[in-house]
Amino acid sequence: MDFELSEEQRAFQDAARAFAAGEMAPQAARWDEDKHFPRETIAAAGELGFCGLYCPEELGGLGLSRLDAALILEELATGCTSTAAFISIHNMATWMACTWGGDAVRADFCGALIRGEKLASYCLTEPNAGSDAASLSTRAERDGDHYRISGGKAFISGAGSTEVLVLMARTGAADAGARGISAFAVPADAPGISYGKNEIKLGWNSQPTRAIAFDGVQVPEAYRLGAEGEGFKIAMRGLDGGRINIAACSLGAAQAALDHSQVYVRERRQFGQPIANFQALQFKLADMATELVAARQMVRLAASKLDRDDADKAVYCAMAKRFATDIGFRVCNEALQLHGGYGYLREYPLERLLRDARVHQILEGTNEIMRVIVARRILETGATEIIR
């Protein structure tokens, strides 16, 4: 078992770290304050291949492993967690389109998505179908060689500012559950699509979040991803990787918070000495670093399981997502505490890192649902079958 990164992985990591430090970190506070969606920066990330991290090389993607992608996304998240998280969602949706899309989807969308010239949103959640995604009610009715889509989606990242919607809709009977769902690549400006207001959120302010309404939207059959009825399976396959991605973004936020903290405690003086000399704060830093390393190793293990198509890959992705997003938020919270009142000010990045990391415990499946996934597998096979 080798925990060392290869030279190529370190090169990708270094490139992402340099991009985060040079192109993202200096602008992150302004993007947050102005609620600015930095398309120009995302396009620059696309020029480095970061918008098609694990898409096939024959389509222009980097064809990286999920472990490689996690390394890159963690570094990007140190610069701006919110923007890195959108890049992770775009990668998930783009990979789904490239993997299950036919010739028309690949010709019309994939190249531009991989290059970052077009951006994609992932459209699964509905107002009444969050954790119970299989109960979604948006319908796609066949009409000759087209489908007509009607319904609504909620909490869609990038909505109103992206060009492609990777959408799950019901093509089967209402009581068919997961078996009646199909996936589509939908042009975001198709007639019949309307967008709600940009939601006012605690964090993730550098990316818009809107509801989407579909009123008889006509979509060619050629834009369907996979076969009819495969949509839920495709959505879950996407989410396995998406959970690794968002876990990696939590690692990046925590790493940035820890980096700022170790600088601050050396500079801040109280009682005639740097507060770094106080053992209580040293213990806090030690715990933050230890928990971050543990979460990082779990994410990398889960990514490796996904790369190997391990039978328990979904369970490991769920465990990693739950653990890393909880730890990521905790480290950010402890870092803010170390900064005292200064951590609460917008002048320092701690409160933004905290706000941006908080939603990671909710999206890509809440952490409560991650526990359900793990517990069900344990009860099916026994804990020793999973953890050995």
Q: Model confidence over 357-372: pLDDT tens digits?
A: 999 999 999 999 999 9
Q: The pTM is what?
A: 0.96
Q: What is the number of alpha carbons within 13 Å of residue 261 lying toward its C-beta?
A: 28
Active site residue ranges: 364
pLDDT band at 56 (very low <50, low <70, confident <90, very high): very high
Question: What are 122's strand-pairing partners?
Answer: 166
Average model confidence (pLDDT) across the chain: 96
pLDDT band at 2 (very low <50, low <70, confident <90, very high): confident
What's the CATH code, domain 232-387? 1.20.140.10
Question: Exposure string (b/e) for 164-193, b if CB count within 10 Å is 16 or more?
Answer: bbbbbbbbbeeeeebebbbbbbbbbeeeeb
Rounded Cα–Cα distance for residues 4 and 292 (Å): 17
pLDDT band at 386 (very low <50, low <70, confident <90, very high): low
Rounded Cα–Cα distance for residues 111 and 125 (Å): 26
| pLDDT score, position 130 | 87
pLDDT band at 177 (very low <50, low <70, confident <90, very high): confident
pLDDT band at 188 (very low <50, low <70, confident <90, very high): very high
| pLDDT score, position 384 | 67
How far out from the chain centre does Cα 267 lie? 34
Residue 48 has pLDDT above 80, yes or no: yes
| pLDDT score, position 176 | 84
Residue 167 has pLDDT above 90, yes or no: yes
Residue 387 has pLDDT above 70, yes or no: no
pLDDT tens-place string over residues 61-97: 999 999 999 999 999 999 999 999 999 999 999 999 9
Residue 104 has pLDDT above 90, yes or no: yes
| pLDDT score, position 383 | 66
| pLDDT score, position 174 | 77
pLDDT tens-place string over residues 279-318: 999 999 999 999 999 999 999 999 999 999 999 999 999 9
| pLDDT score, position 173 | 87
How far out from the chain centre does Cα 330 lie? 19
Find the mean pLDDT for residues 122-129: 95
| pLDDT score, position 303 | 98
Q: Do 31 and 206 form a contact (C-beta atoms < 8 A)?
A: yes
Q: What are phi and psi of 131, to 5 degrees?
A: -65, -30
According to CATH, the superfamily of the domain at 121-231 is Butyryl-CoA Dehydrogenase, subunit A, domain 2 (2.40.110.10)
According to CATH, the superfamily of the domain at 7-118 is Acyl-CoA dehydrogenase/oxidase, N-terminal domain (1.10.540.10)
Classify strands 164-170 and 181-187 as parallel, antiparallel or unpaired. antiparallel
Q: Where are the domains of the chain?
A: 7-118, 121-231, 232-387
Q: What are phi and psi of 240, to 5 degrees?
A: -55, -50
| pLDDT score, position 4 | 92
